[in-house]
Amino acid sequence: MSGLPPLPGNPVAVRLLADRLDATAQRLGALGGVLARLRDGATWDGPAGAAFGARLDEVAPVLDAVGARLGGSATPLRMLADAMGEAQVVVSAAVLDLDEAEHAYAVLEDRVVALIGAGRSEHDPDVLLLRHLQLGQVEAQQVARARHAAAAERFREADRRCATVLRSLSVDGIADALPYRVLVGVSTAGHDLGMLAPVAAVAPELQPVFTVADKAAVVTDAALLVAYHEGDAGQLATAAGLSALGALGGVLRTGATLGAQRTAAGAISTARLTARERVALGVVHEARARRDALRASFQVPPPRGTASSLIGGPSPRSLARGGWTGGFTPAAVAGGFRVGARTAAHRARAAALRRVDKVFLDDWRLATANGPQAQRMYAAGTTLEVAATKTLKPGTGRPDGGRGVTPKAATGPMEGDRSVTLEPGPGHPEGGGNLR
C-alpha cells in the first residue's frame, strides 16, 4: 500500500443532494405561484379568500427566501461534484501508479540483492542496469505523487469556492440568531448524550456526564419552549390553528401511530419522530383524507333512481361521503329487505363495533410502540374526538372525524367502555358514518 490517501466523498450523492435542493426550491417556487394566483382572487374570490390571502402575504416572502437559499446551492454543489469526480479519478490512478512503482522498485531491489549475494559488485553492468530501472520507478513514484497532490489541490480549491458560495447563501433574513443556535446545540448534544445513559451501567464513572447532559437538554428544551414556542403536542397543535376539537383529535391520534409498523412479533417503532413532526404528519394525513372525501362526493351517481334507493337503502352519495360501506353491500341490503331494516341495522352496528374495537386496539399498539409521548398524544386525540362528538350535533359545525373511529372512553384509551354507536351523519361531505 502506498502512503497516498484516497479522496473521500461521493460525487453521485452530492449531485443527488443538489437535485433534491433544486427540486425543493422549484416546488416552493411553484407553490408561491399558486399562492399568488390565490391572492389575485382567481381561485377564491370572497371575504374568506381575502383573509386567507392576507395570511399568505406573511408566508410568501419567507417561501421566496427559502427558495433562494436552497435553489442557489444547487449549482455550486454540482460544480463541486464534478470537481470531486474528476479529482477522484486522478487520485485513484495516482494511488495505483504509486503502488505499482513501489512494488516494481521492491522487485528490482530483490534482484539486486540476489546478484550482490551471488558475488556481483555494485559496478557490475547487470546491477547498474537494475539500479537504472529502479531510478525509473522512483521517477514514476514522484510523478504519481505530484499528480495526486495537484488533483487534491484542485479539489480543495473547488471545495473552497463552493463553501464560499454556500456561506454567502446562508447569510440571509431567515438565518438563526446566535442565542437560538446555542440553545439548539446544547439541547441536541444533551439529548444525544442522554440517549447513551445505559452505557453508564457498564461505565459507572460516566454517569455524572450523562446526568448533566440530560439535565442540560431538559433546561434548554424549556428555554426553547418558553422563548421560541417550540413545545409539546398540544401547544403545537394549537399553534398550528387546529382549533376544531374533532380535527385536532384525529390529527393527534393519527400522528401518534405514525412511524410504527405491525410485524409478526407485534408493533415496532421504525422512525424517531418529534411531537411536532407527528402533528404535522397527522395534519397531512387528515387533509388528504378529507380531500379524497371531497373528490368522492363529486364522483358518486345521483341518489335517485339507483337500485339501492328503490329498495329503501341508503343513497350511494351518503355512503361515499363517509367512505363507509361496511354492512351496506348489495347482499346485505337484500338481506335487510327480508329480515327488516331494524335487524339489518343491528347487525351493521355490531359489525362496526367489532371493527372499531379492532382498529382502536391496533392503533393503540402502534402508539405504544412509539413510546410514552405518542401514547399521551393518542390518548389526548381520543379524548378530544369524544369531546367533539358530544359537543357537535351531527350536521353542524366542523366535521369531527366521521372518517375515523372514536372510542367512547374519555378517561383513557385503554380504560372504560369502548362501545360505539353507529350514527350516519348527514351534512358532512365526509362524515357519512360517525362512529362514537
Partner 1 sequence: MTTIRVDAAEVAELGVALAETGADLLMMGDPSAERWALGPGEAGPAVDELLGGWRRVRLALGGSLTDLGDAAVDAGALYLDTEAGVSRSLLGGSW
Measured in whole angstroms, how far is the alpha carbon of residue 288 from the centre of its chain? 17
Tell me whether residue 74 or residue 422 sits nearer to partner 1 (CB atom). Answer: 74
Tell me whether residue 47 or residue 117 sits nearer to partner 1 (CB atom). Answer: 47
Smallest separation, CB 143 to partner 1 (Å):
24
Among 26, 109, 111, 180, binds partner 1 (CB under 8 A): 180
Residue 112 in the binding site for partner 1 (CB under 8 A): no
Q: Report the site for partner 1 in 241-300 (rule: CB under 8 A).
A: 241-242, 244, 247, 276-277, 279-281, 283-284, 286-288, 290-291, 293-295, 297-298
Number of residues that bind partner 1 (CB under 8 A): 92
Segment lying near partner 1 (by CB under 8 A), choices 197-205, 312-320, 336-344, 403-411: 312-320
Residue 298 makes CB contacts below 8 A (sequence gap 6+) with none
Tell me whether residue 269 or residue 315 sits nearer to partner 1 (CB atom). Answer: 315
Smallest separation, CB 23 to partner 1 (Å):
11
Q: Report the site for partner 1 in 2-21 (rule: CB under 8 A).
A: 7-10, 13-14, 17
Partnered with residue 261 across adjacent β-strands are: 268
Q: Report the site for partner 1 in 57-76 (rule: CB under 8 A).
A: 58-59, 62-63, 65-66, 69-70, 73
Tell me whether residue 195 or residue 228 sits nearer to partner 1 (CB atom). Answer: 228
Residue 315 DSSP label: -
Tell me whether residue 2 or residue 318 sits nearer to partner 1 (CB atom). Answer: 318
Alpha helices in 311-392 (DSSP H): 316-322, 330-339, 341-369, 372-391
Smallest separation, CB 240 to partner 1 (Å):
5
Residue 354 in the binding site for partner 1 (CB under 8 A): no
Residue 167 in the binding site for partner 1 (CB under 8 A): yes
Q: Which three cell numbers stand for residue 38?
A: 390565490
Tell me whether residue 80 or residue 344 sits nearer to partner 1 (CB atom). Answer: 80
Smallest separation, CB 358 to partner 1 (Å):
28
Q: Which three cell numbers stand for residue 20?
A: 433534491
Per-residue x/- marks for partner 1, 404-433, CB under 8 A? ----------------------xxxxx---
Smallest separation, CB 125 to partner 1 (Å):
50
Tell me whether residue 279 or residue 374 sits nearer to partner 1 (CB atom). Answer: 279
Run of H or E residues at 230 = none
Question: Could you tell me if 92 and 77 are in contact, meaning their C-beta atoms sit under 8 angstroms apart?
Answer: no
Residue 241 makes CB contacts below 8 A (sequence gap 6+) with none
Tell me whether residue 52 or residue 359 sits nearer to partner 1 (CB atom). Answer: 52
Cα–Cα distance measured from residue 218 to residue 234, given in angstroms and rounded to the nearest whole number:
18
Rounded to the nearest 5°, which phi and psi values hold at 352? -65, -40
Residue 77 in the binding site for partner 1 (CB under 8 A): yes
Q: Which three cell numbers stand for residue 281?
A: 404528519
Residue 236 in the binding site for partner 1 (CB under 8 A): yes
Question: Could you tell me if 430 and 289 are in contact, meaning their C-beta atoms sit under 8 angstroms apart?
Answer: yes
The alpha carbon dihedral of 77, 79, 82, 85 has a sign of negative
Q: Report the site for partner 1 in 113-152 (rule: CB under 8 A).
A: none
Residue 224 makes CB contacts below 8 A (sequence gap 6+) with 183, 184, 187, 230
Q: Report the site for partner 1 in 366-385 (rule: CB under 8 A).
A: none
Smallest separation, CB 250 to partner 1 (Å):
11
Residue 176 DSSP label: P
Residue 102 in the binding site for partner 1 (CB under 8 A): no
The alpha carbon dihedral of 372, 373, 378, 379 has a sign of positive
Residue 399 in the binding site for partner 1 (CB under 8 A): yes
Question: Could you tell me if 435 and 356 are in contact, meaning their C-beta atoms sit under 8 angstroms apart?
Answer: yes
Smallest separation, CB 265 to partner 1 (Å):
27
Cα–Cα distance measured from residue 250 to residue 400, given in angstroms and rounded to the nearest whole number:
8
Among 97, 221, 230, 385, binds partner 1 (CB under 8 A): 230
Smallest separation, CB 142 to partner 1 (Å):
25
Question: Could you tell me if 72 and 184 are in contact, meaning their C-beta atoms sit under 8 angstroms apart?
Answer: no
Tell me whether residue 259 or residue 336 sits nearer to partner 1 (CB atom). Answer: 259
Cα–Cα distance measured from residue 67 to residue 30, given in angstroms and rounded to the nearest whole number:
10
Cα 364–Cα 365–Cα 368 angle in degrees, nearest 5? 85
Cα–Cα distance measured from residue 108 to residue 102, given in angstroms and rounded to the nearest whole number:
10
Segment lying near partner 1 (by CB under 8 A), choices 24-32, 210-218, 367-375, 416-424: 24-32
Smallest separation, CB 80 to partner 1 (Å):
6
Q: Which three cell numbers stand for residue 97?
A: 501508479
Question: Could you tell me if 275 and 373 are in contact, meaning their C-beta atoms sit under 8 angstroms apart?
Answer: yes
Smallest separation, CB 113 to partner 1 (Å):
41
